[in-house]
């Protein structure tokens, strides 16, 4: 079978290669026939040699598929089940955070797409403990959004919470920012606004509005701090979600947050340091939450939200292509001509449906 592979260390070194179909190597594993795999910024970071990886490795950790074979100790899943899987294939299970159930923070973690073979191919083998069933009626391409959606759920619902009267500002119009706006609105926020650049207007702003955002702010055309204060009667947002990773945006987070408000952060910066208005945050007594990856419970919540949402998550998917077009798709993502791109195996493209 063919896969999109980071085949050697260094910038680039990505291409379509013949890879072996995986076998069930342990009794607790299942073999999944892949139906869709989303492209994440992590995949681009691996391409550009700015994220850890162990080559040769098949890219992709946001996937959905059908169970086709199970190991002898698998109890809760059987062939024909429609599933998604958490990207925590290897964790130590022994460290303090693992024992607390926070396997997303295990320093020994290896995930599909960079630590072990991922989903940009035809089949993948994963441990049963990582699986979640796709609700009836949720199509495979939408289900493959579960990983980034679970991150947004963990960040907003589990880590900081949304009150029904909250005005929420999402800083950044990438896929996670758009899904964060969707989660905030779905969780009962009274108003949700999202910031982005001029490049975001044609595709990403439209997707955010279709998924529940009440308004968008182009930071290259207007002062975002002044605009947020105008929209909130001078008060500032109750909750600010930092999803940009942009130092300029991070610097103004505290100014856009109301006194006693909250900031929750998920955007990773190009370097390890970014300035923040420290005294402003102190005087306002802001609660600031830092987040990484997702929890087990956030996956179940994300799947239930998919099944019951009043917004159509298809608006988050701008590309449905095969891996043969990976270079164009990656380029569209980098140039903000995409929201979320899905790679569909070539043999699944004709029958790709809504259920």
Residue (of 354, 351, 347) closest to 123 by Cα position? 347
Average pLDDT over residues 136-154: 97
Q: Give the residue extent of every domain in the chain.
A: 2-133+322-348, 151-290
Nearest CA to 36 out of 130, 129, 121 is that of 121
* Range 2-133+322-348 has CATH code 3.90.180.10: yes
Mean pLDDT of the chain: 94
Whether 284 shows a pLDDT value over 60: the answer reads: yes
Using one digit for the tens of pLDDT, what is the confidence trace for 148-196? 999 999 999 999 999 999 999 999 999 999 999 999 999 999 999 999 9
Lowest mean pLDDT among 34-38, 102-106, 149-153, 224-228: 102-106
Element (H, E) at 220: none
Given a cut of 50, whether residue 132 has pLDDT beyond it is yes
The secondary structure of residue 275, as a DSSP letter, is -
What pTM value is reported for the model? Answer: 0.93
Per-residue confidence at 354, pLDDT binned at 50, 70, 90? very low
Q: Exposure of 202 by Cβ count < 10 A (0-12 exposed, 13-18 middle, 19+ buried)?
A: exposed
Architecture of domain 151-290 in this structure: 3-Layer(aba) Sandwich (3.40)
Mean pLDDT of 29-48: 96
pLDDT at position 244 over 50: yes
Token pair of 87 as six digits: 């990207």
Please provide the DSSP assignment of 195-214 as one string.
EE-GGGIIIIIHHHHHTT-S
Q: What is the pLDDT of residue 350?
A: 62
Is 271 a residue whose pLDDT tops 90? no
Quick check: 274 pLDDT over 90? no
Strands 257-265 vs 237-242: parallel, antiparallel or unpaired: parallel
User: Considering the chain, what percentage of its residues have pLDDT values greater than 70?
Assistant: 98
């Amino acid at each position: 079978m063919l896969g999109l592979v980071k085949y050697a260390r260094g910038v680039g070194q990505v291409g379509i290669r013949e890879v072996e179909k995986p076998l069930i190597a342990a009794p607790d594993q299942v073999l999944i026939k892949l139906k869709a795999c989303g492209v994440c910024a992590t995949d681009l970071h691996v391409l550009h040699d700015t994220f850890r990886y162990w080559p040769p490795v098949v890219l992709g950790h946001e996937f959905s598929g059908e169970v086709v074979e199970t190991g002898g100790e698998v109890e809760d899943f059987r062939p024909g089940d429609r599933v998604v899987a958490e990207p925590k294939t290897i964790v130590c299970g022994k460290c303090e955070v693992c024992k607390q159930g926070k396997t997303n923070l295990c320093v020994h973690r290896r995930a599909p797409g960079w630590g072990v073979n991922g989903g940009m191919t035809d089949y993948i083998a994963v441990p049963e403990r990582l699986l979640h069933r796709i609700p009836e009626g949720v199509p495979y391409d939408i289900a493959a959004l579960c990983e980034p959606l679970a991150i947004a759920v963990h960040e907003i619902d589990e880590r900081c919470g949304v009150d029904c009267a909250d005005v929420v500002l999402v800083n950044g119009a990438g896929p996670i920012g758009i899904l964060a706006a969707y989660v905030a609105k779905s969780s009962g926020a009274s108003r949700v606004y999202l910031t982005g650049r001029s490049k975001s207007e044609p595709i990403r702003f439209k997707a955010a509005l279709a998924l529940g955002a009440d308004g968008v702010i182009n930071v290259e055309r207007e002062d975002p701090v002044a605009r947020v204060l105008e929209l909130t009667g001078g008060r500032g947002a109750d909750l600010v979600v930092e999803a940009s990773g942009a130092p300029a945006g991070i610097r103004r987070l505290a100014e856009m947050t109301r006194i006693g408000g909250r900031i929750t952060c998920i955007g990773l910066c190009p370097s390890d340091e970014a300035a923040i208005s420290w005294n402003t945050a102190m005087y306002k007594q802001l609660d600031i939450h830092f987040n990484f990856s997702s929890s087990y419970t956030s996956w179940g919540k994300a799947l239930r939200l998919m099944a019951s949402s009043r917004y159509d998550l298809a608006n988050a998917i701008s590309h449905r292509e095969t891996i043969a077009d990976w270079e164009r798709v990656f380029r569209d993502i980098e140039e903000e001509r995409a929201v979320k791109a899905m790679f569909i195996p070539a043999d699944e493209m004709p029958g790709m449906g809504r259920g």
